Structure 1
Amino acid sequence: MSVLDRLREKNLHTWLRDYGRHLVRKARAPRPTGTRHIMFALCDHYEPFWRKPGEEVGRARVDAWHEQYPKLANEFRDSDGRPPRHGFFFPGEEYRAYFLDKLADLCHAGLGEVEVHLHHDGDTAETLAPQLEETLKLFAEHGHLSRVGNQYRWAFIHGNWCLANGRPDGKWCGVDDELPLLHKLGCYADLTFPAAPDPSQPDKVNQIYWPTGDLTQRRSYDHGERARVGTVHEDRLLMITGPLAFARKGRSGIRLENGALTGDDPPSKERVDTWIRAGIHIEGKPEWTFVKVHTHGAIEKTAASLLGAGGRAMHEALRGYMREGWKLHYVTAREMFNVARAAMDGQTGDPNEYFDYVIPPPPIAS
């Protein structure tokens, strides 16, 4: 197999160009001044029925987090005195009242928020809309999801990474015009990416951006305008991406760092350092750094890591930045969006003033 074939097998051709542009932007950017802030969000594709087990296994997976996560969270506090805040992106097709009630307990205790995840295939906007509307209604019955006026407001991660029909084979979505539909139903931000090495990965790396162009077209997320101070688009959702980079592995190896936390690839200080070095920020506000990582935390091996040694290593590494003078803010996806919006509006001061800036907390949090 040629080098080119190996690159294509990993789908590097879909995002290497913007990764190069990212490195150039970083090299040319002036060093931020003043107090540095980290907004840290762990977004979990939280799937109790991963690999389709029975109801008993699904319940056991949810119970593990319900019982063990408060113990871990109690060991750590950020610069605001808050514990880690987990983003449970729950798949609508796996709805069970028992699961959403257990997660409601964690959310009411200030340990996270529930947002929307969905796996679907072969749909159109007309067939997908009722699925999403039913999911929103069911989640809201348990106190989840924010409300603004009469509309639910929510963040989204697409199942199988295939936002806006992003796969070349057309599987696991079908809806070219998915972004406008999500926004119409109240979605304020998509946090699906990075997806590399999946072919759905866009050529938009290490940035928060507004999708541009004809948003009814397949993979419309491939085109976008970096979010910057002074510019806001109210007519579309915001794309919040996590770190994507090549990083050292051992003494001489190289790894693809895509912010995915698994039982086989747990968090570490080295990984945390790579995430922060990515420097994702709102253009014009480089002192506010946004770190969005992801996991499939219901899986037993991953849960054991995140609720045990892996999770502790991650939070210890983040706490190390506090000792170096940074301010750490554990945030949910909603709070991350709100801080980003405040930055775009030119707000100053401490980001903790803006956790509820545009989108209020869900009822279960009150």
Structure 2
Amino acid sequence: MDRWLLPWLKDSFLRHKAPITDVMLSVCDHFEPFHHTDKAGAMRRMQEWHTRLPEILATGVDHDGQTPRHTFFYPVEQYDADVLQSLAELCTSSRNEVEIHLHHHNDTAENFCAAIELGKVNLRHHGLLGSSPDGQPVFGFIHGNWALDHSDPAGRGCGVRGELAMLKQSGCYADLTMPSAPHPTQAPIVNSLYYSQSTLAGCSHHRGTPVKVLAGGSPSLREKPDHLLLVQGPLMLDFTRRKWGLMPRVENSDLGPANPPTVRRFHQWRKADISVRGAENWCFIKLHTHGAPEKNHPSVIGEPRRRFHAELLQLAAQEGFRLHYVSSREMVNILHAAEDGHAAGDAGLWRDYLYAPPACLQKA
């Protein structure tokens, strides 16, 4: 907490508040079917998702007529053709998407870039990953073990400095790793959408420039090859839940086995006011989970999540905000639309603003 508590307190006082008209809700899953199991176990987990995810989708639809979204960040170093084909079929039937997750340790820049390129090729083989306007593959990224840009104080889980520029030049549209609290890799910037300039000093994402509505004709930092967009999820103290009846607990937007999604938590996430500066009426809520292991199934494909969506749809109708279930790609597209001055109306119009859907969805 020594890294993020004071920045959170300062940000809470200084952040501009505005009535929220649109809420973008995205679930970004560090999806690891092989976690503590073999291939047979991984395939059983995939079957569980095929069986139970439709129950979540049947809960209802958002303002745009879209069912709940779930973005699978698959660890590309664990590629298996059968597992990926099963995941691609799940995405096609559920209108969900796959992005890149990567674990590495004591690595080199050359190996890191090669792993990303091979991951892109493998995922595209299954019809996955979105495309830039010129048809090149683009991807969202979550760093394994939270250690983006060699940020673990113990030196574990990475080994490569300057990762942000390497990711950007490989087609990464945004990093979505944070928040990582209570892990020591947590950045001192919280509840933000911002651009970071990559440096060889490491921990580049510990500094950055907030995304803001561009003044007429001003260039966006997204055009710079050494600047990467960082999309964070909510992180704060939750005074509605207290340890020993006294100390507030940490809300870190994780859908873990003891913390399923609830409307009570949604109110906390919304209070983070994560938005583009100058377009605070559009609120971006990025949640995360590790949804492949069985212990997390209740939070992500069980009754608690089904109930959450049912209650959330009721809340949106009662309070009059437009709820948009979005993939990470759609969230970033809408973010860039706000940056470019389009936040006066319905955010759902901008789901495919810059980056096109993966082939598996275009054929569906």
Would the TM-score normalized by the shorter structure come out above 0.5? yes
Residues 361 and 150 (structure 1), Cα distance of their counterparts in 2 relative to 1, 3 Å cut: closer
**Aligned counterparts of 1:223 and 1:206: Cα–Cα separation in 2:** 13
2:272 aligned with 1:278: yes
2:295 aligned with 1:301: yes
Give the partner amino acid of 1:36.
T
**Aligned counterparts of 2:328 and 2:108: Cα–Cα separation in 1:** 27
2:34 aligned with 1:45: no
Contact 1:208 1:226 in 2 (8 A): yes
Query: 279, 288, 299: which one pairs with 2:282?
Result: 288
Query: 184, 196, 199: which one pairs with 1:215?
Result: 199
Query: 333, 337, 348: which one pairs with 1:352?
Result: 348
Contact 1:70 1:111 in 2 (8 A): no
Query: 2, 25, 50: which one pairs with 1:13?
Result: 2
Map of 2:46 onto structure 1: 62
Residues 97 and 71 (structure 1), Cα distance of their counterparts in 2 relative to 1, 3 Å cut: same
Query: 124, 128, 139: which one pairs with 1:154?
Result: 139
Aligned residues: 349
**Aligned counterparts of 1:333 and 1:321: Cα–Cα separation in 2:** 21
Scaled by the length of structure 2, the TM-score of the pair is 0.92
Map of 1:240 onto structure 2: 231
- What's the RMSD between the two structures over aligned residues? 1.5
Scaled by the length of structure 1, the TM-score of the pair is 0.92
Residues 30 and 117 (structure 1), Cα distance of their counterparts in 2 relative to 1, 3 Å cut: closer
- Superposed displacement of residue 253, structure 1: 4.5
Residues 68 and 164 (structure 1), Cα distance of their counterparts in 2 relative to 1, 3 Å cut: same
2:324 aligned with 1:329: yes
Contact 1:272 1:317 in 2 (8 A): no
Contact 1:243 1:259 in 2 (8 A): yes
Map of 2:307 onto structure 1: 313
Contact 1:146 1:361 in 2 (8 A): yes
- Superposed displacement of residue 314, structure 1: 2.3
Contact 2:98 2:128 in 1 (8 A): yes
Map of 1:249 onto structure 2: 241
Give the partner amino acid of 2:63.
S
Give the partner amino acid of 1:179.
L
SS of 1:290's equivalent? strand
2:103 aligned with 1:119: yes
What do residues 44-96 of structure 1 show as CA deviations (whole Å, max 9, x unaligned)?
00000112x11111111111111210222122211111101110000102211
Q: Unaligned stretches of 5+ in structure 2?
A: none
Task: Please show how residues 20-39 of structure 1 align to structure 2 within 5 Å.
Answer: 20-26=9-15, 29-32=16-19, 36-39=21-24
**Aligned counterparts of 2:230 and 2:317: Cα–Cα separation in 1:** 28
Residues 322 and 252 (structure 1), Cα distance of their counterparts in 2 relative to 1, 3 Å cut: farther
Contact 2:194 2:229 in 1 (8 A): yes
Give the partner amino acid of 2:120.
L
Q: Unaligned stretches of 5+ in structure 1?
A: 1-11
**Percent identity at matched positions?**
38
What do residues 214-247 of structure 1 show as CA deviations (whole Å, max 9, x unaligned)?
5332100000011100062112221000000100
Moved over 3 A (4+): 250-253
- Superposed displacement of residue 112, structure 1: 1.0
**Aligned counterparts of 2:206 and 2:148: Cα–Cα separation in 1:** 11
Contact 2:32 2:290 in 1 (8 A): yes
